[in-house]
């Protein structure tokens, strides 16, 4: 449950995937770019917050470029980015 120590990324820009960039910050800042922003923006943000909470991350700047990913894919990519951000380079 350690905090982020570096900038990291996960995922791709392929269809049905999401590219997640994450870096240490004070507080949570979540930016989402998605073709389904209007319908699912809130649900996507909630999924990101759930994963960050589960990983014990309270300070992060997260940027998602969504290519129509399912929630399980978004959760997986955010988790991978967080795990990578916790590892020292």
Partner 1 sequence: MRRSMLFLPGNTPNILINGDALGADALIFDLEDAVSPDEKDAARVLVRSAIKALGYRGCEIIVRINGIDTPYWQDDLREMIPLRPSLIMPPKTSCAQDVRTVDEFIGRLEGELGFEAGTVRLIPLIETALGVENAYEIASASGRVAAIFLGGEDLTADLRCKRTREGAEIAYARSRMVVAARAAGVDVYDTPFTDVNDDEGLVLDAQTAKSFGFTGKAAISPRHVPGINEVFSPSMAEIDYAYEVLEAIRLAKEQGRGAVALRGKMIDAPIVARARQTIEAAEQLGLGGNRHEK
Rg (CA), the chain: 12
Query: CB 47 → partner 1: shortest distance, Å?
Result: 11
With binding defined as CB under 8 A, does residue 88 bind partner 1?
no
Binding characters for partner 1, 57-86, by CB under 8 A (x = yes): ------------xxxxx-xxx-xx--xx--
With binding defined as CB under 8 A, does residue 50 bind partner 1?
no
CA angle 53, 43, 68 (to 5 degrees): 110
With binding defined as CB under 8 A, does residue 29 bind partner 1?
no
Supply 57's token pair: 């991350």
């Amino acid at each position: 449950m350690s905090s982020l120590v570096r900038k990291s990324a996960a995922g791709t820009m392929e269809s049905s995937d999401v590219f997640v960039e994450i870096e240490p910050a004070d507080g949570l800042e979540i930016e989402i770019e998605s073709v389904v922003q209007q319908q699912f923006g809130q649900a996507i943000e909630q999924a990101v917050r759930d994963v960050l909470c589960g990983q014990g991350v309270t300070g992060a700047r997260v940027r998602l470029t969504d290519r129509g990913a399912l929630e399980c894919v978004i959760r997986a990519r955010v988790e991978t980015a967080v795990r990578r951000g916790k590892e020292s380079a």
